[in-house]
Chain A
Amino acid sequence: MTEKRTVEVALGTSGMDERGRPVTVPLGVQTTELAVDEAPDLGGEHMLINIGPQHPATHGVLRLVVELDGEVVVRVIPHVGYLHSGFEKLGEYRHYNQIIPLTDRMDYLAPMSNNVCFALAAEKLMGIEITERCRVLRVIACEMSRIISHLVWVGTTGIDLGAFTPFLWLFQERERIYNLQEEWTGARLTTSLTRVGGLMADIPTGFEDRLRQFLKTFPVALDDTDRVLTRNGVFVGRTQGIGVLTGAEAINYSLSGPMLRASGVPYDVRKDRPYLGYETYDFDVPVGEHGDVYDRYLVRFEEMRQSARILEQALDRLPDGPINVDDHRVILPPKHAAMNDMESMIHHFKQVMEGVPAPVGEAYFPVEGPKGELGYYLVSDGTAKPVRWRVRPPAFINLAAIEKMSVGHLLSDLIAINASVDIVMGEVDR
């Protein structure tokens, strides 16, 4: 305001009125000049627009019905259920080990964490104590899953906000983890890693070296992405102050995971309700302050670094020993025993044909999944198939808060907020 621009001198006016607000140039004959906010309201109606269910920025088949006043969001009504696959119903018709392949397909960005959570819930229900090697391997699986889920999140959030390159870099890192997952389980994505009482297979030879090699090169990719995004003017401008939720609101909306921690609530299931020996690992849980999209980005980014830290420790302490519990009612006998020894053959037959019966009871087991608190609630009536298999879906519950976060923001902010919730529709809709 202090230096006059040439154009103002030429026009003889600063473009601002005496209150410092910009002056509109009236079209047509008008005797008075109006400041912008005194101009008559054009009386526009609100628009109701439909985003999705097929839309590149909705991260899956989500439908948002948005009421807009110009570009400002007045109301957001999310419609979910476009990927409802009847998982919970299917679970009632499957043995416990047959449900494990189903769990891969819910949060398909981090399949091993679903597998581990279900196995832990079934083992809690059946009262089975797993071996130490299995425990450490499951920690490795969970943290690998956390990394790949957050890699997708950073990549796709970057795309939503206009940054395409980190997506390609981070997907290359994901391919490295996919190679490791494929070596271990045979599948890149639908891993079905765990079984009740153990794992499907031990890690192959050379796996530890290859994982350590990944951990050497992974921070390089993270640093590259950090350099490109974290202090990028466009990224910061589009994410700071957007979609703010206070800690009390976040608790009331039952949010969990990075959504909750970015709002300042330090609840992490690994620290507060530890499982798999997490209390013996040395790692930090990043907690944000402002509860906006930028804080969620910072929390997830740092979580990836902490996961790498946990992976190093897990590799260092990986003990030798069996991966499966030594219980013939639960674990299939080795093939050579089943083919040669009558008792093993009968155990094999009973487990495959009748499944493993769980005692009457129920169990809820939460883990810290990459999206939030993922919990499986199993109710058993003494048979081999659960009476009720409930998935506590973190993405579903986190998504419900989208209206609270978006009202008053612009439409492009709604896309950023939607990205920050980190939804995966397979888990939202089950």
Chain B
Amino acid sequence: MGVTPHPTAAAGLELASPNWLTTKLDWLVNWARSNSMWPMPFGTACCAIEFMATAAARYDIARFGMERMSFSPRQADVLLCAGRLPFKLAPVIRRIYDQMPQPKWVISMGACASSGGIFDNYAMVQGIDTVVPVDVYVPGCPPRPEGLLYGILLLQKKIRGETLADPAIRVERSLDERGLPLAPERIDELSEPFGNSLHQTRSA
């Protein structure tokens, strides 16, 4: 923190950061951002149905300011990947993530989006964190609407802990020259099989 001057310094106020003014400004900005996140629903499979149920009348995501679904990534704040992500869809989610302007966050909803789920096979990305950076993982297959709401509240809590003075939070993490978001070893490590997946690969 304090690597770049807080925006209040630009006004000519020679104040040390953090101080009462910077924290209040941060509080205001974070309050606004967390309570009016516009989700980009990247719904692929069963979790998308639970997401729709969360948006519907019983669980009502509008209580948290998220009822305005933004189907255009340019106007969205949080990419909500609900459902499994096959390799064929990987460039699509990456492109949508890149199109979103900062500040942006990613919620990975469901076991398949978080780790590949029950699909440890040739066709499935083993967790969208190998393709886009993720802020909150919501486990479940599918997570109940209450579970998704808990994940959203966690993201709101994370946002409330941010500060404008730290540019590292808002750096745009794009693909490297190989076309990968992370080092290959890291991707292999994240995609390693675990649990039952280790034992259920014999065909006969």
Contacts and interface: CB of A to CB of B under 8 A. Distances in A.
B73 to A, nearest CB: 8
Interface string B176-204: 00000000000000000000000011111
Interface string B89-113: 1001100100000000000000000
Interface residues of A, number: 40
Given A83-B89, A190-B142, A174 B53 contact: yes
B123 A171 contact: no
Contacts of B119: 85-86, 90
A188 B144 CA distance: 8
A244 to B, nearest CB: 30
Contact of B121 (A53, A90, A101): A90
B148 to A, nearest CB: 12
B56 A168 contact: yes
B56 A190 contact: no
A135 B43 CA distance: 35
Contacts of B200: 93-94, 98
Interface residues of B, number: 37
A54 interface: yes
Which of A85, A89, A101: most chain B CB closer than 10 A?
A: A85
B122 A89 contact: yes
Contacts of B93: 54
Given A92-B203, A189-B142, A85 B86 contact: yes
A107 B144 CA distance: 18
B129 to A, nearest CB: 18
A383 interface: yes
B45 interface: yes
Interface in A78-123: 81-86, 89-90, 92-94, 98, 101-102, 104-105, 108-109
B89 A82 contact: yes
Interface in A60-82: 60-61, 81-82
Interface in A151-188: 152, 167-168, 171-172, 174-175, 178, 188
A102 B83 CA distance: 14
Given A84-B123, A85-B86, A171-B57, A60 B44 contact: yes
B136 interface: no
Given A56-B71, A90-B121, A82 B86 contact: yes
Contacts of A54: 42, 71, 92-93, 96
Nearest to A85: B119
B123 A86 contact: yes
Contacts of A102: 118
B134 interface: no
A14 to B, nearest CB: 45
A425 interface: yes
Contacts of B57: 168, 171-172
A84 B88 contact: yes
A138 interface: no
B45 A105 contact: yes
Nearest to B204: A383
B131 interface: no
A164 to B, nearest CB: 11
Contact of B71 (A55, A93, A174, A190): A55
B46 A426 contact: yes
B58 interface: yes
A108 B118 CA distance: 15
Nearest to A430: B123
Interface in B62-96: 69, 71, 83-84, 86, 88-89, 92-93, 96
B52 interface: yes
A385 to B, nearest CB: 6
Given A85-B123, A86-B124, A171-B52, A189 B44 contact: no
B89 A89 contact: no
A85 B84 contact: yes
Contacts of A101: 118
Given A86-B123, A92-B203, A175 B46 contact: no
Contacts of B204: 383, 385
Contacts of B53: 171, 174-175, 178, 188
Interface in A375-430: 383, 385, 425-426, 429
Interface string A297-333: 0000000000000000000000000000000000000
Contacts of B122: 86, 89
Given A86-B124, A89-B121, A101-B118, A53 B92 contact: yes
B49 interface: yes
A81 B118 contact: no
Contacts of A94: 200
Contacts of B88: 81-82, 84
Contacts of B141: 190
B50 interface: yes
Contacts of B46: 104-105, 108, 189-190, 426
B203 A385 contact: yes
Given A85-B45, A171-B58, 9 more contacts: A60-B43, A81-B88, A85-B86, A85-B121, A93-B202, A98-B200, A105-B45, A171-B53, A188-B144
27 contacts: A53-B92, A56-B69, A60-B44, A82-B92, A83-B86, A83-B89, A84-B123, A85-B45, A85-B84, A85-B123, A86-B121, A86-B124, A89-B121, A89-B123, A90-B119, A93-B201, A98-B200, A101-B118, A102-B118, A105-B45, A105-B118, A172-B57, A178-B53, A188-B53, A189-B142, A385-B203, A426-B46
